[in-house]
Amino acid sequence: MAIAQVCRDHGYEHFYGAAYDPKLQVRHRDVGGFREPELLQGTKYTQSDLADTYAQVKQNLLKGEKVLFSGTPCQVDGLKHYLGKTGAENLLLVALVCHGVSSPAAYAAYLREVGRDHGSDVAKIRFRDKREENGKLSHRFTTLVLQDGRELASTEDLYTMAFGIGVMDRESCYRCPYASPSGAGDTTIGDFWGLEKTVPEISGEISKGISLLIPHTDKGEKLMADLAEYMVLQRVPLAAAINEGQQQLQKPLERPRLRDSFLKHLLMEKKTFRQEAKRAIFAWKMAERKKRLVKMAGRIFAKNKV
């Protein structure tokens, strides 16, 4: 929100980003004139439909209007290639630290199943919803609000867990060239996981949400200076962001063994999301456990050898 506020202060008229439509599908849209910018806020764990967004942005820029566009790195880079040098001086590009984009069809199947299982369709969904857990604020909740008003909040939501292991991602996500800190836009934004290891005194604030901002261009650097009016900023070495908690800044997500069968069973054979997600998550946990055991055995062997 702070970036959009800075852009508004500097005369920007168009603000493009991902928002939910009435059916909870994710689509890119313009909240022109800074109307309802909150629609673009919040984590959305599925691919957004760009439709004719690129063409709209081009028309805005040809009219001399200022545009803020935010999206995944591939969406940002795609827009850059589409526009060429058209209106570059009036365009600010913000790329997200991306974990991968999951199948919209799988996401829709999940929502239908939740509605069917609870006798009421899903009206709202909030990923990374901040709620108290064991007396502390936690960002691990996924909250679903049903049409009848009931709320379903869980830290073990099957869709969120399946998204986390990448079992629903596009094939290109497993070979993503943007999984690095080099960036695709004027700046990259995301959650600053692992910051407490570099700045331990900030550990108590992590649960409230600490943002990572990586400027890549002069416009990105100028944005950092302007953001100081709305945010508390602290500059740290880029190396602080390249840690175990920020794997998506280092390499693409590993392709899960059950990725193909998961989507086939769910979308073609119409098996339940619950059944397929549990199967994939269990297989992933077993594979991770095996990796840890192999790594541990290697350390023990090396120690004994010495």
Element (H or E) spanning 18, and its range? strand 14-20
SS3 content of the chain, % helix, strand, coil (to 5): 45, 20, 30
41-45, 123-127, 242-246, 262-266: least confident range:
242-246
List, in sequence order, every residue forming a beta bridge with 265; answer none if it has no partner: none
> What value does the mean pLDDT of the chain take?
91
Any idea what the Cα angle at residue 267 is, between residues 264 and 269, rounded to 5°? 70
What pLDDT does residue 258 have?
Answer: 93
CA 37 – CA 126 distance, rounded (Å): 16
CA 177 – CA 200 distance, rounded (Å): 32
Handedness of CA 181, 183, 186, 190 (dihedral sign): negative
List, in sequence order, every residue forming a beta bridge with 169; answer none if it has no partner: 102
CA 7 – CA 2 distance, rounded (Å): 9
Interval 184-199 mean pLDDT: 87
Rounded to a whole number, what is the distance in angstroms from the first to the last CA of the chain? Answer: 55
- Percent of residues, the chain, with pLDDT higher than 70: 97
The reported pTM is 0.90
- pLDDT of 287 > 90? The answer is no
pLDDT in tens, 200-228: 777 777 777 788 999 999 999 999 999 98
Interval 146-160 mean pLDDT: 96
Residue 294 pLDDT level (bands cut at 50, 70, 90) = confident
The 8-class DSSP code of residue 234 comes to: -
- pLDDT of 173 > 90? The answer is yes
Select the more confidently predicted residue: 133 or 218.
Answer: 218
Q: Which residues contact 264 (CB under 8 A, 6 or more apart)?
A: none
What pLDDT does residue 304 have?
Answer: 63
Element (H or E) spanning 60, and its range? helix 53-62
CA 169 – CA 211 distance, rounded (Å): 24
What pLDDT does residue 192 have?
Answer: 87
CA 151 – CA 144 distance, rounded (Å): 6
- Among residues 128, 118, 124, 64, the alpha carbon closest in space to that of 96 is found at 128
CA 181 – CA 215 distance, rounded (Å): 10
Q: Which residues contact 59 (CB under 8 A, 6 or more apart)?
A: none
Quick one: how far is CA 31 from the chain centroid?
20
pLDDT in tens, 249-273: 999 999 999 999 999 999 999 999 9
What pLDDT does residue 295 have?
Answer: 73
- pLDDT of 290 > 60? The answer is yes
Contact 273, 109 (CB under 8 A): yes
- Among residues 81, 90, 96, 87, the alpha carbon closest in space to that of 13 is found at 90
pLDDT in tens, 44-61: 999 999 999 999 999 999
What pLDDT does residue 111 have?
Answer: 97
Q: Where on the phi/psi map is residue 238: left (φ > 0), alpha (ψ -120 to 50), or beta?
A: alpha
